[in-house]
Amino acid sequence: MNTPVTMKHNLTALKGKTPFHLVEMSPWPLLASLSIFNMPVGFILLTRFNSAYLLIASTLLTSMVAFLWWRDIVRESTFQGHHTSYVMAGIKVGMSLFILSEVFFFVAFFWAYFHSSLVPSVEIGATWPPVGIKPLNPFQVPLLNTSVLLLSGVSVTWAHHAIQEGKYWSGIQALAITFLLGVYFLSLQLMEYNETSFTIADSIYGSVFFMATGFHGLHVMVGSIFLLVCLIRLFYYHFSKDHHVGFLAAAWYWHFVDVVWLFLYISIYWWGS
Spatial separation of the C-alpha atoms in residues 235 and 50, rounded to whole Å = 42
pLDDT digits (tens, 9 = 90+) for 157-208: 999 999 999 899 999 999 999 999 999 999 999 999 998 888 888 888 999 9
Distance CA 135, CA 205 (A): 9
Q: Is residue 6 very low, low, confident or very high in pLDDT (cuts 50, 70, 90)? A: low
DSSP state of 124: G
Alpha carbon distance 166, 53 (integer Å): 47
pLDDT score for 129: 87
How would residue 98 be classed by pLDDT, with cut points 50, 70 and 90?
very high
* pLDDT tens figures, 9-22: 554 555 556 677 78
Average pLDDT over residues 54-73: 93
Taking CA atoms, 130 is separated from 125, 133, 213, 263, in Å, by 6, 6, 18, 21
Give the C-alpha separation, 155 to 113, whole Å.
Answer: 31
Rg of the chain over Cα atoms, rounded to whole angstroms, equals 22
230: Cα separation from own chain's centroid: 14
Computed over every residue of the chain, the mean pLDDT equals: 89
The confidence score (pLDDT) of residue 86 equals 87
pLDDT in tens, 130-139: 888 888 889 9
At residue 82, the pLDDT reads 83
> Hey, is 178 helix, strand or coil?
helix
Q: What percent of the chain has pLDDT over 90?
A: 64
pLDDT value for 162: 95
For residues 257 and 105, the answer to whether their CB atoms sit within 8 Å is: no
> Mind listing the pLDDT tens digit for each residue in 219-248?
999 999 999 999 999 999 999 888 899 999
Q: Which class is 1-82 in CATH?
A: mainly alpha
Contact 137, 273 (CB under 8 A): yes
pLDDT number for residue 121: 84
pLDDT for 2 equals 47
CATH of the domain spanning 94-271? 1.20.120.80
pLDDT of residue 193: 92
**Alpha-carbon distance 224 to 181, whole Å?**
9
Task: Please tell me the distance from the alpha carbon of residue 28 to that of residue 17, in angstroms, as a whole number.
Answer: 26
DSSP string, 137-160: PTTSHHHHHHHHHHHHHHHHHHHH
Beta-carbon-side half-sphere exposure of residue 127 (alpha carbons within 13 Å): 8
- The reported pTM is 0.86
User: What is the sign, positive or negative, of the torsion defined by CA atoms of 232, 236, 240, 244?
Assistant: negative
Q: Residue 212: CB partners within 8 Å, gap ≥ 6?
A: 106, 109, 110, 113, 264, 268
Give the domain ranges of the chain. 1-82, 94-271
Q: Are 152 and 181 in contact (CB under 8 A)?
A: yes
